[in-house]
Amino acid sequence: MRDDERDLRLAVQLLNDAARVAVLTGAGVSAESGVPTFRGAGGFWRGRSAVELATPGAFRSDPAGVWEFYRFRIGALAGVTPNEGHRSLVTLERRCERFWLITQNVDGLHRAAGSENVIELHGSLARARCTSCSYDCRTDDLPDEAVPSCPRCGDRLRPAVVWFGESLPEPAVRSAEEAVRECQVMVVAGTSGVVEPAASLAHRAGARGAAVVEVNLEETPISRVARVSLLGPSGVVLPRLVGLVD
């Protein structure tokens, strides 16, 4: 039996034996649907680094420019649909007694695929929120303004995503912590394993005894703590893995 087949069978056995499963996904899962990652050498928009635009300081100094960038990102998702990797996780969720889907992605494709218990660590492009009060809304419902204003208090609305230098939303953090404490298996798919604090979740789950199953195109820092690493596109590997689970 080839090593990759042996690894696949081990991953299937681990999932078959688990009632409580957590999944952590990163940009690689959505990249297979055609979603730009806006990281690395190609992460520029109109000559500006996407990292520079995704900060509280950028919004304070150029809110219209930041909103233009995010409207572009939202528009780029209009024709994007979930891939087989997203859909396979819906099937996995339905067979588990407890299931958590923790994602670093902001594109909403897991929800579009039908996943229910989705923990969006970095927020969602589908929503906007007020910079002053608790008002939030769907980005589909934003007024046609360069910088949308809050209908409740009149202050600026901003994309409901986590920018560089900001803390993760507390409800998402609590749910992710629960997953780390409770899961028997954590599947990590399409993430580089270097963006904190999400990257530490797999390490902590493994340290408390959960089996970590990695699905990625190449080895990452998470490979060192993974019980098994399955190399390949998540849109191919995840459906094959889940399809073998009883």
pLDDT tens-digit series, residues 76-117: 898 899 999 999 999 999 999 999 999 999 999 999 999 999
Q: What angle do CA 80, 199, 90 make, to 5 degrees?
A: 40
* pLDDT score, position 1: 45
Give one DSSP letter per residue of 12-81, joined into a string. HHHHHT-SEEEEEE-HHHHHTTT-----STT-EETTEEHHHHSSHHHHHH-HHHHHHHHHHHHHHTTT--
Cβ pair 150, 156 in contact under 8 A: yes
Per-residue model confidence as pLDDT tens digits over 133-157: 999 999 998 988 999 999 999 999 9
Domain layout of the chain by residue ranges: 3-34+82-122+168-244, 44-76+129-161
* Higher pLDDT pick, 243 / 49: 243
Which two three-digit tokens encode residue 65?
């420019």
* pLDDT score, position 41: 44
Give 197's pLDDT tier (boundaries 50, 70, 90).
confident
Per-residue model confidence as pLDDT tens digits over 159-180: 999 998 899 999 999 999 999 9
pTM: 0.93
Would you please indicate which residues are annotated as catalytic (active-site) residues? Answer: 122
User: Is residue 37 over pLDDT 70?
Assistant: no
Which CATH code fits 3-34+82-122+168-244? 3.40.50.1220
Which CATH code fits 44-76+129-161? 3.30.1600.10
* pLDDT score, position 123: 96
Same fold, 3-34+82-122+168-244 and 44-76+129-161: no
